[in-house]
Amino acid sequence: MKTWKIKEQDLESIAIGAGILGTGGGGNPHVGKLMANRLLREGLDVEVVALNDVPDEWRICTVGGMGAPTVTIEKLPRGTESVGAVRALESHVGHRIDALIPAEIGGGNSIEPMIAAARMGIPIIDADGMGRAFPTLPMITYFIYSLSCFPCAVCDDKGNQIVYPSGVNVHWLERLTRSAAVEMGGHAACAVAYMSGADARRTAIAGTLSWAREIGEKVRGARQRHSDSIISEILSATDGTVLFEGKIVDVDRRTADGWVRGRVQMEGAQAYAGSEMTISFQNENLIAWRDGIVVATVPDLICIVNSDDGEPVTTEMLRYGYRVSVLGIPCSPKLRTPEALEVVGPRAFGYELAFQPLEDLA
Amino acid sequence: MKTWKIKEQDLESIAIGAGILGTGGGGNPHVGKLMANRLLREGLDVEVVALNDVPDEWRICTVGGMGAPTVTIEKLPRGTESVGAVRALESHVGHRIDALIPAEIGGGNSIEPMIAAARMGIPIIDADGMGRAFPTLPMITYFIYSLSCFPCAVCDDKGNQIVYPSGVNVHWLERLTRSAAVEMGGHAACAVAYMSGADARRTAIAGTLSWAREIGEKVRGARQRHSDSIISEILSATDGTVLFEGKIVDVDRRTADGWVRGRVQMEGAQAYAGSEMTISFQNENLIAWRDGIVVATVPDLICIVNSDDGEPVTTEMLRYGYRVSVLGIPCSPKLRTPEALEVVGPRAFGYELAFQPLEDLA
């Protein structure tokens, strides 16, 4: 089977790309990158396989961190949580897992499965279940497109394991796993979406790990060349557009119930002088208003990056005075179907707005 | 094997006896009694086996309700929770359970295992893990005397199942299962203490189901004879004593975090005229002060009963004007060892008091 190995410079690129695709959430990839780097230096391999090359009969699951990203800034993961969660799932189903697949390419959960896969000696799949980051389990394409969310396994840094063999639906699983993560200290690893290779090809968004790497490579290349056009370099790897440029002037942010929620306000500069932008978030950026007009909504990607070096600015890093660019990137077509928009559209987050594609709003 | 079958009149007696031994908590046995009665009328049997007759190699577990007793007054159990929890545990360990054993003889959790056992066609064991009721998992003798609390299974009325295959210790299991019960609506069934018959004989308190029945029979007999001496009838089935008689004049009660906590105050009558009593509780009655002097502490049993008919007054039923007798009953010697007192003594509940046996305080 054709695979490629992740190198240290790939990790650098993926961390930047995944940070941008995290649209503010998914957790900061920095700590995950350091952990993955250490594993590479210890001689472990992270092997990547393309979604199309995955055999039908492979047993696959996703694994990632669950909880408020703000928590992981102060409470670093131990690094054993993800393997613990996958092992608990394996024990429950009575089979070994052949490969891991990310639930979300955005943020730290792009790297977390690599760490577990390297430790377990199995590959990761170049795909994910969001093409971005989202705050809850029901928003993963595997579940939107009818795969069962049971069984699911959760493991914390202390060695507590929980298995959810069956239950009402993915919304109940979300409630129960999130309250467990809160009780476990605000962060835990969750292994879920036990599926076949064929299931993965039907429901996953392909090529997103390569995409994150490509975006990161553009940023790193532009930085090395001291290019002024880092933002347009990023956009060249996407179908995206610039929504705003300016300075953060206010941040309202609360961490509760395992989420970080709030809004950030910006004053325009350059082409946007005299304008203002407000972005609301729940772990991830949800809605962007420019001068009171909606210019982008979830599930399209609203990405805040440092205007100078293209570094992604995650929700927990937002603060007064940052000079940022706001990018809008169209989401995967798998997130724009009616069944997907019911789960990941603006109304699913409590906004009385119909989804309109970024391209139409511009 | 010698077994006895529970009849409707046994259920009546056990419900009264278990209510008294519940020392205010364990949940009101009334709903459980109605459910068990219906099963008997449908022709199902509840078979009881003595602890000494249990074969060494039997696989046993306990099952019971978890949550604040106040919740179950308004949110009746569906009746399928306990079987669901035991079935989830069976699936996890890969074996059928041969018999159920109560975790606590006090309150509704004396009857809950009968309902599950009758539905599953297996016997219950005449024994329990408290000889009374307590609010948390670590306070069960099975765990005090070193049996593992893993695996554990939880099931709610909606069909959500959770399995805890392994973890740090019983205190973490208590935290995780209780937060799950809160998330599930304040009440869930918990199957735990997977053990052998030999383990049960080493760690359980024997004969407590028969004891509850005997206490209840005394109460029912005295009621039928319109006896004035109902309180002394109750005490004749125990080594207990009257701690107070009087009227409830104040109740301070809060339901939070899956517990009901507070204190009740009484004014004395008859032999106790001019005296007052305060009893603090956390689901169960913990400490009794008469005129400011401690007269009984946990783990000894502090039981509040209606002075007229001997009916147990549970924590959630306490209210102004009730005329009650307060009984002190010595706990099982298994709860008075140093390792037990560390878990169930006054200090374990936050009181700066050393345990002194009821008999010495009197």
Residue A225 placed within a domain:
no
d(C-alpha A177, C-alpha A162), whole Å = 9
- Dihedrals φ, ψ of A356, to 5°? -125, 135
d(C-alpha B38, C-alpha B16), whole Å = 18
Q: Which of B154, B172, B206 is where one domain is finished?
A: B206
- Residue B330 DSSP label: P
Q: What is the residue range of A146's domain?
A: 3-206
Asked if A88 lies within 8 A of B182 by C-beta distance, the reply is no
Are B198 and B276 part of one and the same domain?
A: no
Confidence at residue B29, expressed as pLDDT on a 0 to 100 scale = 80
Asked if A158 lies within 8 A of B180 by C-beta distance, the reply is no
What average pLDDT does this structure show over A99-118?
93
- Residue A163 confidence (pLDDT) above 70: yes
Are A193 and A252 part of one and the same domain?
A: no
- Measure CB to CB from residue A183 to each of B161, B163, B176 and give the nearest one: B176
Which range among A179-193, B22-36, B217-231, B285-299 shows the weakest confidence by mean pLDDT? B22-36
- For residue A74, name the pLDDT band (cuts at 50, 70, 90): confident
What CATH number is associated with residue B188? 3.40.1610.10
Are A202 and A236 part of one and the same domain?
A: no
Are B178 and B289 part of one and the same domain?
A: no
What CATH number is associated with residue A310? 2.40.390.10
**Which of B314, B300, B279, B294 lies closest to B344 in space, CA to CA?**
B300
What is the end-to-end Cα distance of chain B in Å, rounded?
A: 43
**Which of A18, A106, A25 lies closest to A279 in space, CA to CA?**
A25
The tens digit of pLDDT for each residue in A284-303 reads 999 999 999 999 999 999 99
Count other C-beta atoms under 10 Å from residue B147's C-beta. 21
The tens digit of pLDDT for each residue in B217-259 reads 999 999 999 988 999 999 999 999 999 999 999 999 998 776 7
| Nearby residues of A350 by Cβ (< 8 Å), 6 or more positions away | none
Residue pointed to by tokens 């395992």:
A258
- For residue B68, name the pLDDT band (cuts at 50, 70, 90): low
Please tell me the distance in Å from A30's CA to the nearest CA on chain B: 29
The tens digit of pLDDT for each residue in B31-50 reads 888 888 999 999 999 999 99
Are B87 and B183 part of one and the same domain?
A: yes
Q: Fill in the amino acid letter for B244.
A: F
| Nearby residues of A187 by Cβ (< 8 Å), 6 or more positions away | A65, A66, A67, A68, A71, A72, A75, A77, A81, A156, A157, A181
Are A246 and A134 part of one and the same domain?
A: no
Q: What angle do the packed helices A29-41 and A8-21 form, to 10 degrees?
A: 160
What is the end-to-end Cα distance of chain A in Å, rounded?
A: 43
Q: How many degrees, rounded to 5, is the angle at CA A35 between CA A326 and CA A122?
A: 105
ipTM of predicted complex? 0.86
- Residue B147 confidence (pLDDT) above 80: yes
The tens digit of pLDDT for each residue in A249-283 reads 999 999 877 678 999 999 999 999 999 999 999 98
Residue pointed to by tokens 């929980």:
A162
Asked if B176 lies within 8 A of A158 by C-beta distance, the reply is no
**β-pairing, A59-67 with A99-100?**
parallel
d(C-alpha A131, C-alpha A18), whole Å = 10
CB proximity A253 to B under 8 Å: no
Asked if B179 lies within 8 A of A180 by C-beta distance, the reply is yes
Residue B140 placed within a domain:
yes
Answer whether A227's CB lies under 8 Å from A218's CB.
no
Are B152 and B20 part of one and the same domain?
A: yes
Confidence at residue B310, expressed as pLDDT on a 0 to 100 scale = 93
- For residue B25, name the pLDDT band (cuts at 50, 70, 90): confident
CB proximity B188 to A under 8 Å: no
- For residue A85, name the pLDDT band (cuts at 50, 70, 90): very high
Count other C-beta atoms under 10 Å from residue B292's C-beta. 8
- Choose, out of A183, A190, A192, A257, the residue to mutate when testing the contact with B (most B CBs < 10 Å): A183
Count other C-beta atoms under 10 Å from residue B253's C-beta. 15
Residue A223 placed within a domain:
no
Q: Which of B206, B221, B239 is where one domain is finished?
A: B206
Cis peptide before A113 (omega within 30 of 0): no
Residue B297 placed within a domain:
yes
CA distances from A293 to A267, A277, A296, A305, B169 (A): 15, 9, 9, 21, 54
What average pLDDT does this structure show over B322-334?
97
Asked if B91 lies within 8 A of A180 by C-beta distance, the reply is no
Residue A189 placed within a domain:
yes
Answer whether B203's CB lies under 8 Å from B147's CB.
yes
Are B198 and B313 part of one and the same domain?
A: no
**Which of B48, B180, B69, B56 lies closest to B127 in space, CA to CA?**
B48
Residue B88 placed within a domain:
yes
Beta bridge partners, B195, equal: B60
Residue A218 placed within a domain:
no
C-alpha of B72 from chain center: 15
Q: Which of chain B's residues have a Cβ under 8 Å away from the Cβ of A184?
A: 176
Using CA of residue A233, residue A236, residue A238, residue A239, what is the dihedral sign?
A: positive
Answer whether B104's CB lies under 8 Å from B64's CB.
yes
The pTM (predicted TM-score) of the whole model is 0.89
Are B54 and B167 part of one and the same domain?
A: yes
Give the residue from chain A lying closest to B175, CA to CA: A183
- Residue B1 confidence (pLDDT) above 90: no
Are A346 and A249 part of one and the same domain?
A: yes
d(C-alpha A219, C-alpha A162), whole Å = 40
What average pLDDT does this structure show over B275-303?
97
Are A26 and A144 part of one and the same domain?
A: yes
d(C-alpha A29, C-alpha A47), whole Å = 19
Q: Which of A206, A241, A260 is where one domain is finished?
A: A206
Are A12 and A146 part of one and the same domain?
A: yes
Beta bridge partners, B99, equal: B60
Overall number of domains in chain B: 2
Question: Strands (DSSP E) along chain B, which ranges?
Answer: 3-5, 47-50, 59-67, 99-100, 124-128, 152-155, 161-164, 187-196, 205-206, 241-256, 259-268, 276-282, 284-290, 293-297, 301-306, 323-329
CB proximity A119 to B under 8 Å: no
d(C-alpha B71, C-alpha B106), whole Å = 17
- Residue B11 confidence (pLDDT) above 70: yes
Confidence at residue B70, expressed as pLDDT on a 0 to 100 scale = 62
Asked if B161 lies within 8 A of A164 by C-beta distance, the reply is yes
Confidence at residue A324, expressed as pLDDT on a 0 to 100 scale = 97
**Which of A147, A151, A148 lies closest to A202 in space, CA to CA?**
A147
Asked if B167 lies within 8 A of A180 by C-beta distance, the reply is no
Q: Which of chain A's residues have a Cβ under 8 Å away from the Cβ of B88?
A: 165
C-alpha of B271 from chain center: 30
Decide which of A335 and A2 is more confident.
Answer: A335
- For residue A35, name the pLDDT band (cuts at 50, 70, 90): confident
**pLDDT over 90 for what percent of chain B?**
83
Q: Which of chain B's residues have a Cβ under 8 Å away from the Cβ of A93?
A: none
CB proximity B241 to A under 8 Å: no
Asked if B180 lies within 8 A of A176 by C-beta distance, the reply is yes
Residue A216 placed within a domain:
no
